[in-house]
Amino acid sequence: MHQAPNTLSEYRKEIDSALQDEFLRRTLDTFAVAYRANRETIFQEVDERGIINQIAESRDKACKRMEELYAQFKEQAEKRGVRVHRAKDATEANEIIARIARENKVKRIVKSKSMTAEETQLNERLFADNFIVDETDLGEWIIQLRHEGPSHMVMPAIHLSRYQVADDFTKATGVKQDTDIQKLVKVARVQLRRKFIQADMGISGCNFAIAENGTVTIVTNEGNARMVTTLPRVHVAIAGLDKLTPTLEEALTALLVLPRNATGQRLTAYVSWICGAGPCSVNPDGKKILHVVFVDNGRTEIAKDPLFSQIFRCVRCGACANVCPVYRLVGGHKMGYIYIGAIGLILTYFFHGKDKAKVLCQNCVGCEACKNVCAGGIDLPRLIREIRSRLTDEQGGDTQAVLLSSVMKNRKLFHSLLKFAKYAQKPFTGGTGFQRHLPAMFLGKHGYKALPAIAAQSFRDRWPEIAPRAHEPKFRVALFSGCAQDFVYPEQLEDAVKILAARGVEVDFPLEQSCCGLPLEMMGQRKTAVEVAEQNVRAFSRKSYDAVITLCASCASHLKHNYETLLAGNAGLYGKTREFAEKVVDFSSFVHDTLGLGSDDFNNSGQKVAYHASCHLCRGLGVRQAPRDLIKAAAEYAPGEEEELCCGFGGTYSVKFPEISAQLLEKKLDALRKTGATRLVVDCPGCVMQLRGGAEKQGLNVKVDHVADLLAENLKPQGGKT
Amino acid sequence: MTQTDSVSRHVVETFIAKAAAVNAVVQELPNIQAALRYVVDVCAAKQASEILADEPGVEQGPPGPNNQPTRVKRIVAAPDLDDGEYDVLAKACEEKGFLCIREGLRNYVAGFDVGVSKALLGVAASGTCLMNTDGEDARLAGMIAEIHIIFLCASTIYPDLPSIAQKLRERINEEPITYTTMISGPSRTADIERVAAVGVHGPLELHIILLED
């Protein structure tokens, strides 16, 4: 039922078949767009950030007190007639539950949805012991009939069409079923009612295990959990230890976000608060037999981890999958082992082991969409990178990553190799900016975009000639180029320098700077990532600058948000790293916010210009208005659909998963066509590489370049403030 | 209208809007007598309840919308009502030929027509009713009935979830062992192609009677 790929090539084959699934693609596409709009509307009624911070803080505190909360819950629940168990792993949890069933002479079991029971693969164990087990959540029941695992944490059968469901129901009932969804839902109502009535035992999940009074809280829409916990003689609730919640207040706060994030609802139809073993008329003593089984399965260890303990903020809302551009393409069965989406990649590593996680955890493009919506504010992309780094330490990285890593340790070697590449590529470029004549064999799955050529002269080599001199400068800034602009698109930096110099800014370009290190992080090469970070902080600490400007959103976000953590162990750079990170600013923000450039500074070309919001700019740095205002000042801004959707570049991601990258690119180009624009500008050379390559390959008559290029072209010499 | 009145009217209106947003039918009625009449009228107007499982001795009518046999004698279950209220309802039901019950609901889990419950309080922001469902009958009334009708006093509506924390605590700790349910709209699902559908397991309809007193 559950599978995890062993090798990247095996995984890519699976992904290929998922990409062929037209229904899945269409469904997830519609869902992604509708979800985003619904979520935005439903969150307007509450203080989203405030509540998320509150959840993060309270879960972090609860995590530190897990043992104490467990003891308190146990004491409170047992006082109320509940038996509380603690299982060290999945096998033991399943054993406890099977034993409870045997001891109570149970034959039939009904279940309401529980991801923890999926984690322990409880059904398989119960089937092996010859119990009759029926899932009663509609989606879970459908996938049980199909012998599949869930493809979404909240909507487990989202990958299936009404026609498939009608076929499954026809088989299950022996009667031909209509494909009308309203009727199909009623088939479940009719079929499952008998099962609820006949069942001896109900198994439910638990959204919150409230320590103050031993309450099990269950959140559902269908009402099946109420049946499961009421009709049978025995009720077993299964919960991860992370579900321990100190008081009702924390649960109520989480309930403000969980349904909103999961399905755009204010609250689910039902929330049950079960405090103690209450009445049950079918037991001889008239009382319910109620057990709560807590599953550890590595949780006490994770709780002690200073970084990974934040995964206990997860409320299992599934939002990280809802916004993930990769999930949207390949679906849940290809994006996690049991738990899916971004959190699924992480939980797979902890609950199901590194063998299951090693390939899966590569499938994150790093767009940060998940981090932006997480109910607990978990830094999911960072944790995924961290797991890659751990896997590298434990198992060694792949050959390419190790090779690149060893080259990049030595800046001079890295840079001379890049320069050498410009000679090596000559036969293939035909004098254009693209590598045109690479044999198709060599390109393989990468044929969806034209690859850029290495520039004839790197920016660092041009610098001595173009370095501007400013008299009585308003600002002194340093440029951080990043590899792509230094060696592939130096003209973007030149355009930026032209604008800065024209507005009285003194620009410096420290030559000792190197790669920002993000690609190394993405490949799990932590050690080298730290080394290049040190080089860069040193390079920019020799002089005092008002700002460190970069035209690459990914570099900016990495320098600003990750350097302090990466260099935390370096006492020699203490203070310098923070000072450096604080000064880092993206080009558009500096020009717009600090220099205050606007319509007076540019000749409006009238050209229709579309915009792609790079992941690391809009989500990584929260910059949204500046670039759009600048476009409006220099041209006619043509807004497009889903401007903030990832273009699929993701640095090394596009090399590892070219098929997915190509599909994401396709989506962006479709949106671009609809704008009718003749130019597309972005704030990141990586996105330029991806989008320009795609536009070239498809023969679109659209120029793709950096915001700086558009601005430099239309800059008024003096500015309007004279 | 005093300022407090207008504030509480705002809360009531929010409740009505949010409950309607999740497909609940909200009715403002002046008193319990009117509410009890409403229950009987709803039961009389609805299609007869389908019988979804074996029930010995039940008189069966023609198949309902899901091709299951229907009840000939309609059932109204009202475990939450006090004696006086129950007597009034039982009498009105008898006149219509309905069976009115307040206990032993397990005998009718194959499905019945109307369940009547009383809410402890309401939450405006999500159109939610907080219910004491300690007893099995109280739970079944809102689970098995095709139409669930909740009586809620307008004066007990609170603005949002955080504002009821202490009330919820008092409710849960009211007895040594309790079962409390929050209800927001009828039973629903979007598990097939994300298309919204109500009545997957629980009530097909939820009616909330807002009482002035």
Q: Which residues does chain B have within 8 Å of residue A181's beta carbon, measured at their own beta carbons?
A: 192-193, 195, 197
**Residues in a beta bridge with A336:** A340
| DSSP 8-state symbol, A223 | S
Task: Tell whether A161 is within 8 A of chain B (Cβ).
Answer: yes
How far does the CA of residue A273 sit from the closest CA of chain B (Å)? Answer: 5
pLDDT attached to residue A309: 96
Comparing CB atoms, the residue among A189, A274, A280 nearest residue B200 is A189
pTM: 0.91
Range of the domain at B15: 3-211
Residue A80 three-state SS: coil
pLDDT (0 to 100) of residue B2: 61
User: DSSP string covering A290-353, please?
Assistant: EEEEEE-TTHHHHHH-TTGGGGGG-----HHHHT-HHHHHH-GGGSBSSSBHHHHHHHHHHHH-
* A245-301 pLDDT, tens digit each: 999 999 999 999 999 999 999 999 999 999 999 999 999 999 999 999 999 999 999
Report pLDDT digits (tens) over A129-167. Answer: 999 999 999 999 999 999 998 899 889 999 999 999 999
Give the pLDDT score at A415.
79
Burial of A423 (0-12, 13-18, 19+ CB in 10 A): exposed
pLDDT of A322 strictly over 50: yes
Asked if A226 lies within 8 A of B186 by C-beta distance, the reply is: no
- Residues whose CB is less than 8 angstroms from the CB of residue A225 and which lie 6 or more positions away in sequence, other chains included: A112, A113, A204, A205, A218, A270, A272
**Which are the contacts of A12, defined by CB distance < 8 A and separation ≥ 6?**
A657, A659
- CB-CB neighbors (< 8 A) of B106 in chain A: 281-282
Interface test with A, best of B22, B117, B177, B181 (most A CBs within 10 A): B177
Cα B54-A196-A87 angle, rounded to 5 deg: 155
What is the ipTM score, two decimals? 0.97
Query: What is the rounded CA–CA span in Å between residue A455 and residue A636?
Result: 30
The span from the CA of A81 to the CA of A289, in Å, is 8
CB contact under 8 A, B201 and A188: yes
pLDDT in tens, B25-57: 999 999 999 999 999 999 999 999 999 999 999
Whole-number Å distance between alpha carbons of A597 and A601: 6
- Does A27 reach chain B within 8 Å, measured CB to CB? yes
pLDDT of residue A469: 84
Residue A425 has pLDDT above 70, yes or no: no
| Partner B, chain A 190-229, Cβ-Cβ below 8 Å | 190, 192-194, 196-197, 212-213, 215, 221-224, 226-227
Most A CBs within 10 Å: which of B50, B120, B179, as the mutation test of the A interface?
Answer: B179
Q: Which helix (H) or strand (E) holds A236?
A: strand A234-240
What's the mean pLDDT in A438-466? 76
Query: Taking CA atoms, what residue in A is nearest to B184?
Result: A269
**Inter-chain contacts counted by CB atoms under 8 A, chains A and B:** 197
Q: In sequence order, what are the beta bridge partners of A476?
A: A506
The model's confidence at residue A522, banded by pLDDT at 50, 70 and 90, is confident
Burial class (CB in 10 A: 0-12, 13-18, 19+), B165: middle
Nearest to B53 among A79, A162, A193 (CB): A193
Q: What is the pLDDT of residue A435?
A: 65
Whether pLDDT at A722 is above 50:
no
User: How many folded domains does chain B comprise?
Assistant: 1
pLDDT (mean) for B158-166: 96
Which of B160, B164, B192 is the closest to A157 by Cβ? Answer: B192
Please say if the pLDDT value at position A676 is more than 60: yes
pLDDT tens sequence across A578-601? 999 999 999 999 999 999 999 999
Question: Which chain B residue has the Cα nearest residue A23?
Answer: B193
| Contact between residue B48 and residue B64 where contact means Cβ atoms under 8 Å apart | yes
Q: Does the CB of A182 have a partner CB in chain B at under 8 Å?
A: yes
Q: Do A138 and B181 touch (CB under 8 A)?
A: no
Residues in B closer than 8 angstroms to A197, CB to CB, are: 53, 109-110
Tell me the CATH number at B184: 3.40.50.10420
A438 and B CB contact within 8 Å: no
In chain B, the residue whose alpha carbon lies closest to the alpha carbon of A141 is: B191
Interface contact flag, B127 A155, Cβ < 8 Å = no
> Is a pLDDT exceeding 70 seen at residue B1?
no
Rounded to the nearest 5°, which phi and psi values hold at B113?
-85, -60
Q: If pLDDT is split at 50, 70 and 90, which confidence band does A437 have?
A: low
Quick one: pLDDT at residue A574? 82
Q: Supply the pLDDT for residue B153.
A: 96
